[in-house]
Amino acid sequence: MAQKLDPWKSTEISDYSKLFEEFGIQPFAEVLDALPDPHKYMKRGIVFGHRGYEMIADAIKNKKPFVILDGFMPTGKAHFGHKMVMDQIVWYQKQGGIVVVGMADCEAHAVRGLSWEECRQIGVEEYITSLIALGLQPENTRIYFQSECQPVKDLAFELGTKVNFSEMAAIYGFSGETHLAHMVSVLTQGADILHSQLPEFEGPIPVVVPVGADQDPHIRLTRDIASKMNMFLIERREDQKTGSKYWSVRGKNAPEGALKEIEKLLRDGFGGAGVQTKLSKEHIDIFGNISEAELTELVKNAELAHGGYAFVIPASTYHRFMSGLTGGKMSSSIPDSNIALSEDPKSAAKKIMKAKTGGRESAEEQRELGGEFDKCSVYELYLFHLTDDDNELIQVQKDCTSGNILCGECKKKAADKMEAFLTDLQQKREEAFDKLPLFGIDYVRK
């Protein structure tokens, strides 16, 4: 049976490669080489998929502006799963991205029933301080709470003009019992993703949203709504007879006369360069030498002049999840299965010493056969979090498969690393409270 991705139930995904055929997610490997200095999650295949990433790779490489946007639902402790998103945000900032981070308190309130005060406290004390501790800089950064961001709420309402109940029900399994605020929170997430492109923020700009695969339904819906909101659609067409290629601009939502204006702009600007146009009722066909970038720019400006949005369809990346330290899924209802970023370093080390490994029944057997790191949650900690050095990672693999090192020793090393990492992070999280005003966050600690 085809699997369904549910953003609120954290379904376990057994086979990530299926997501390519079933949902049309593209393999990240295809765009990896276009990046000058990819993040370790990308090189290690943890970020495995994308939609529309080419424009982001292009922006990074050619130092063009782009936005990195993410949202966190402030419902509980920030853990190492959230750290994966946070690390990527910090990395994109270093690559020149403008950082926009939303605290999804509307979603937490609507879906998980947390009070606004709880959302605020968890949002700041767990998520925002962790992000700052992991290296987020205040320059070119905007952090907001959904409930306090009027443009997001207004845009969410507007996006609601393009989706009906049947579509929502088909995507999310909503029924007559689903609370309306839950449905609104879906639109709010769409607005999170799109609002940076409003004229009062950056205007139309490439946006990338790194998420876990469970969030893909939101991404697909938002990409779909964005194109429905736009007035014009640019398409590459091919002449049936001659096989020659040309551009076509469709005015699917455009006001009277707007297409005609675009045609005039094309003639005035590119007629001299031999570009020819043919206007029909709903589209203009364009022949001759005009680049995609030139055409896009012209159409964008015309759309903005007519009060349209001219959204650039947002891009996304998808990462795999770590499994829980106790085996199976990482879950906040099983405390030993995960480690919080605010956790006491000693307690985290203990969890690692108890973790499920890919070790054998007995020491003799392990010396003989070696361990199975690909079934080991401790190895996953190395892979995701404990080392940036690929050689060190390979050494862990070798020591494991050769049986040179047994799990006890291997776990001890990981536990020591974790303890050192968290000791440092706790210090930085403390310091982050003093930096909150630099990020425009007004907060009094209780």
CB of 221 to ligand TRP, least distance (A): 12
User: 389: buried, middle or exposed (CB in 10 Å: 19+, 13-18, 0-12)?
Assistant: exposed
How far apart CA 68 and CA 206 sit, in angstroms, is 9
List, as one string, the DSSP characters of 315-369.
EEEEEPPPPPTTSS---TTSGGG--BTTS-HHHHHHHHHT---S--SSHHHHHHH
Among 13-21, 65-73, 160-168, 367-375, which window interacts with ligand TRP (CB under 6 A)?
65-73
- If contact means CB under 5 to 8 A according to the sort of partner, which of ligand TRP, ligand SF4, none does residue 411 touch? ligand SF4
Stretch 406-425: interaction string toward ligand SF4, x if CB under 6 A: -x--xx--------------
Beta bridge partners of 98: 67
Residues 183-212 that bind ligand TRP (CB under 6 A): 189, 192-193, 209, 211
Residues 318-357 that bind ligand SF4 (CB under 6 A): 357
Among 145-153, 161-169, 213-221, 372-380, which window interacts with ligand SF4 (CB under 6 A)?
372-380
Task: Supply the angle between the helices 216-229 and 165-172 in degrees, to the nearest 10.
Answer: 150
- If contact means CB under 5 to 8 A according to the sort of partner, which of ligand TRP, ligand SF4, none does residue 110 touch? none
- The amino acid sitting at 440 is G
Q: Which is nearer to ligand TRP, 324 or 358 (CB)?
A: 324
User: 86: buried, middle or exposed (CB in 10 Å: 19+, 13-18, 0-12)?
Assistant: buried
359 scored as a contact of ligand SF4 (CB under 6 A): yes
CB 331 within 8 A of CB 338: yes
Q: Which is nearer to ligand TRP, 180 or 444 (CB)?
A: 180
How far apart CA 59 and CA 343 sit, in angstroms, is 37
59 SS3 class: helix
Stretch 71-110: interaction string toward ligand TRP, x if CB under 6 A: xxx----------------------------x-x--x---
Q: Which is nearer to ligand SF4, 301 or 387 (CB)?
A: 387
Residues shown for the chain: 446
Among 76-84, 140-148, 271-279, 403-411, which window interacts with ligand SF4 (CB under 6 A)?
403-411
- If contact means CB under 5 to 8 A according to the sort of partner, which of ligand SF4, ligand TRP, none does residue 70 touch? ligand TRP
H or E segment at 142?
A: strand 141-145
Q: Which is nearer to ligand TRP, 159 or 386 (CB)?
A: 159
Residues whose CB falls within 8 Å of the CB of residue 112, separated by 6 or more in sequence, listed in order: 73, 75
Q: Which is nearer to ligand SF4, 316 or 357 (CB)?
A: 357
How far apart CA 258 and CA 253 sit, in angstroms, is 10
Q: How many residues bind ligand TRP (CB under 6 A)?
A: 14
Which of 134, 55, 76 lies closest to 101, judged by CA?
134
Q: How far is CA 65 from the centre of its chain?
A: 17
CB 337 within 8 A of CB 331: yes
Q: Which is nearer to ligand SF4, 253 or 397 (CB)?
A: 397
How far apart CA 315 and CA 52 sit, in angstroms, is 5
Distances, alpha carbon 162 to alpha carbons 7, 187, 197, 327, in Å? 21, 10, 18, 42
- If contact means CB under 5 to 8 A according to the sort of partner, which of ligand SF4, ligand TRP, none does residue 357 touch? ligand SF4
Residues 33-62 that bind ligand TRP (CB under 6 A): none
Stretch 220-249: interaction string toward ligand TRP, x if CB under 6 A: ------------------------------
Q: Which is nearer to ligand SF4, 29 or 369 (CB)?
A: 369
Q: Which is nearer to ligand SF4, 336 or 372 (CB)?
A: 372
Choosing from 286, 378, 393, 425, the residue that interacts with ligand SF4 (CB under 6 A) is 378
Q: Which is nearer to ligand SF4, 77 or 356 (CB)?
A: 356
SS3 content of the chain, % helix, strand, coil (to 5): 50, 15, 35
125 scored as a contact of ligand TRP (CB under 6 A): no
CB of 445 to ligand SF4, least distance (A): 39
Binding site for ligand TRP (CB under 6 A): 7, 70-73, 102, 104, 107, 189, 192-193, 209, 211, 215
Binding site for ligand SF4 (CB under 6 A): 357-359, 371-373, 376, 378-379, 396, 400, 405, 407, 410-411
